[in-house]
Structure 1
Amino acid sequence: MQEHELAQRVELLERRVQILNRLAEMSTAINSTLQLEPLLQLIMQAAAEITDSDSASVLLWNRHTNKLFFAATTSSGTMANSLIGQPVPLKGSIAGTALTENRIEVVNDVTADSRHYSGIDEKNDFETRSILAVPMRLKDRPIGVLEAVNKHELPWTEDDNHYLSILAAQAAVAIESAELVTALKKANTELSEIDKLKNDFIAIASHELRTPLGVIMGYASFLQESDDKEVVGHAQKVLDSALALRQLIEDLTNLRYLQQKQIDLHREPVTVSKLVQECLRNTREFAETRGHQLEIVLAASDVELVVDVGRIQMALNNILNNAMRFTPDGGHIVVQTEINNDNEVWIKVIDNGIGLEPEQSERIFEQFYQVENHLTRVHGGLGIGLSIAKGMIEAHGGRIWVTSNGLNTGTTFTIALPIEEEILREQSS
């Protein structure tokens, strides 16, 4: 073998090693970048470098218009600005053929190929002489086309095809990931904006409803002093509805505060027995109207908790009201307390009501979730009482969960509240 030929082969091998190393570097760089624009720049720079070309471009497929468009180019200045976003038809173009036929298009002389889309050159004062176009696909789904333009030493080689195909395959996965991340960020931003609008609406609605509601309640209370029993009866219905609406406003306000983590807790010591008995007093009237039997089963030893009494009572009231609403008239509801592992108080609300299916147990604490179909439900409510209860309990460092053996087997809600270590020491001494 002649020395000159040997030197050429060594040079070719060195070139291949350099390109393979470059592809390995690109694989790492591409997969560590989730921002689309920097990612496209990396891909194009590598494409031009490994094919020894003047420039490279990435064209992405728009499924809505069914066209390719220039997403990025190594060209700079005004040409790059004017090129980005320009469409290229799938039919009758080199890039379009590469994508639709899923094959590499090698064009050493564009003047001899009628598919060359010369309109791009004319618009950007550029001369395209040769093109190597490689489709980017993810499984069977089109992503776009990676183009190298104007190779310095023609013709395009099998190595060019091979290396650009490797880069295009890596690029397809990376572009898909970057687009998914971008879409996810956009969706999260939109959700945040919707959530803010919802909170603003709740705040405004709550504020605007309070004044007229106060007037309605005032007039209803005044009418209750009438000597006409029929008027008194109607006034009571108005007052009951107004009180229900006021509670709804309070629930929405509490929900907003919980979402924004703006709940202030005013903690004070209270015994578990007192907490439970007070809650039952608050709900006994409702229980009597439904014919429910309420039962308390207290732990053998009573302990103190340091909690915001009003907030915990609200949580317990919501759970008790839920149990009474979803238990047929004449039901049996038990409130049971116990000490667990000497560091938690468990308060259980056990009913013999309609029960829950397994998938409902997972969702019942979600905001606005309804166990019943919205068209056929008979129990009313917005579906936020349990969500508020969960938020109040967790704000105290506690837990809440529900268990049920299925429909018509009743449910058991369990609240677990931590016992402060100092109180434990005092009560054990």
Structure 2
Amino acid sequence: MRITRRRPAMIFFITLGACMVGVAITLNVGWIILNWRRVWPMVVGIPFFALLIAGLVLNTIFLVREVRRNERHDSFLNAVTHELKTPITSIRLYLETLQRRALTEDQRQQFYDIMLADSDWLLATVEQVLKAGEVGQRARNQIQTEVDMHALVKQCIETTRLRHHLSSEAISFDDGAGPDPLLVRGNPDDLQTAVQNILNNAVKYSPDGLRANVRLTIESDAWIVLSISDEGIGIASAHLKRIFKRFYRVPHRNVLKTKGTGLGLFLVRTIARQHGGDAIAQSAGEGRGTTIRLQLPRMLGSAARVQAN
């Protein structure tokens, strides 16, 4: 509803800006016609009107961007509010049930398991919001730890399987690098956050059940590339670059029904670029799955030492 209400505001600012630019151009042309034989009015007037037109165009662009930024900000607040309120409400409901009713031990254990899962959900949401503010302020030269991407990816896959109660066939892992070491220099917690966010997205946007393929490869002997492909709802080509922006969520019916803050892929690309790499999204279109590629620079010196040993 907020997006619908803001659209007229965007149309108004664009129309107003276009009209003002048209008036400025008309005045400029009239000025030139009236003073074309006079040197100083031409010298002063033409640059002045050019600056006026440029200012109007820039002001219109700024206003439209602010409207769009406010849309994303409102969507983020709504999403975070829902992400926080839902598990809190659930935990409170089960606690009240435990307090008011006599339950069997099996029922109590079941309630405890549900409340623990809800608290994990709540903690994950808070940590993601905090991480989004933290990664943008961390200096790149603080990243010094040697990280084994093979071990890190395997751990993230196991965590995803346990957290979402997935079968072993839901996520296949293809280590295309073979025996070559897959070492990068980076912050292991941040890299784990990036990989985990990609896997979580694959789960969230596969409403008919997850079928994901995780592949680690070495490209040009200098890059380690992690590709995570799913068979979920897919992404239209117009949104492939935008999904890495802060708070951005694809305006698709299935997406809007899915829990999320719009920070997951923003964190993925931010962390990748802080490590000297990048992240891109690929999709053949809606309903045809998505592939997220995380590319990181390989530690060639450490690889040589490992092979020598």
What's the TM-score, normalizing by structure 2? 0.69
* 1:360 counterpart (223, 226, 239): 239
Unaligned runs of 5+ in 1: 1-62, 64-136, 147-157
2:155 is the alignment partner of 1:278 = yes
1:219-368, aligned counterparts within 5 Å? 228-261=105-138, 265=142, 267-289=144-166, 293-298=170-175, 299-303=177-181, 304-368=183-247
Give per-residue Cα distances to partners, 1:387-408, cap 9 Å, x unaligned. 1111111111111111111122
| Corresponding residue of 1:399 | 278
| Corresponding residue of 1:11 | none
Is this contact kept in 2: 1:287–1:293, CA < 8 A?
no
Per-residue deviation, 1:325: 1.4
Q: Which amino acid aligns with 1:139?
A: I
Q: Which amino acid aligns with 2:204?
A: R
Is this contact kept in 1: 2:24–2:52, CA < 8 A?
no
Q: Specify whether residues 265 and 354 from structure 1 end up closer, same or farther in structure 2 by C-alpha distance, changes over 3 A only.
A: farther
| Corresponding residue of 2:6 | none
Q: Specify whether residues 278 and 383 from structure 1 end up closer, same or farther in structure 2 by C-alpha distance, changes over 3 A only.
A: same
User: What is the root-mean-square deviation in Å for CA atoms of aligned residues?
Assistant: 4.1
Is this contact kept in 2: 1:257–1:263, CA < 8 A?
no
Is this contact kept in 1: 2:143–2:185, CA < 8 A?
no
SS of equivalent residue, structure 1 residue 364: helix
1:108-147, aligned counterparts within 5 Å? 138-140=24-26, 142=27
State how far apart, in whole Å, the 1-side matches of 2:178 and 2:122 are. 40
Is this contact kept in 2: 1:291–1:330, CA < 8 A?
no
2:48 is the alignment partner of 1:162 = no
Give per-residue Cα distances to partners, 1:340-362, cap 9 Å, x unaligned. 11111111111122211101212
Give per-residue Cα distances to partners, 1:242-265, cap 9 Å, x unaligned. 321211111111111133346885
Bigger Rg over Cα? 1
State how far apart, in whole Å, the 2-side matches of 1:309 and 1:347 are. 15
State how far apart, in whole Å, the 1-side matches of 2:186 and 2:266 are. 19
Give per-residue Cα distances to partners, 1:271-311, cap 9 Å, x unaligned. 33212211111111245348962111112123122322221
State how far apart, in whole Å, the 1-side matches of 2:129 and 2:166 are. 26
Is this contact kept in 2: 1:352–1:410, CA < 8 A?
yes
Unaligned runs of 5+ in 2: 1-15, 17-22
* 1:413 counterpart (274, 286, 292): 292
Q: Specify whether residues 162 and 321 from structure 1 end up closer, same or farther in structure 2 by C-alpha distance, changes over 3 A only.
A: same
Is this contact kept in 2: 1:271–1:302, CA < 8 A?
no
State how far apart, in whole Å, the 2-side matches of 1:242 and 1:249 are. 11
Give per-residue Cα distances to partners, 1:182-210, cap 9 Å, x unaligned. x48987xx97xx99xx8xxx9xx9xxx9x
Percent pairwise identity: 21
| Corresponding residue of 1:176 | 53
State how far apart, in whole Å, the 2-side matches of 1:364 and 1:175 are. 35
Per-residue deviation, 1:376: 7.3
Q: Specify whether residues 284 and 177 from structure 1 end up closer, same or farther in structure 2 by C-alpha distance, changes over 3 A only.
A: same
Is this contact kept in 1: 2:36–2:42, CA < 8 A?
no
Is this contact kept in 2: 1:292–1:331, CA < 8 A?
no
Per-residue deviation, 1:172: 1.3
- Count of aligned residue pairs for this structure pair: 263
Q: Which amino acid aligns with 2:173?
A: I
Q: Specify whether residues 236 and 399 from structure 1 end up closer, same or farther in structure 2 by C-alpha distance, changes over 3 A only.
A: same
Q: Which amino acid aligns with 2:39?
A: Y
State how far apart, in whole Å, the 2-side matches of 1:302 and 1:287 are. 31
State how far apart, in whole Å, the 2-side matches of 1:318 and 1:328 are. 17
State how far apart, in whole Å, the 1-side matches of 2:231 and 2:62 are. 46
Is this contact kept in 1: 2:198–2:265, CA < 8 A?
yes
State how far apart, in whole Å, the 2-side matches of 1:367 and 1:290 are. 32
What's the TM-score, normalizing by structure 1? 0.51
Is this contact kept in 2: 1:343–1:418, CA < 8 A?
yes
Per-residue deviation, 1:239: 3.2
1:41-56, aligned counterparts within 5 Å? none
| Corresponding residue of 1:116 | none
Per-residue deviation, 1:375: 9.1
State how far apart, in whole Å, the 2-side matches of 1:262 and 1:253 are. 16
- Whose helix fraction is larger, Structure 1's or Structure 2's? 2
- Whose strand fraction is larger, Structure 1's or Structure 2's? 1
Per-residue deviation, 1:144: 12
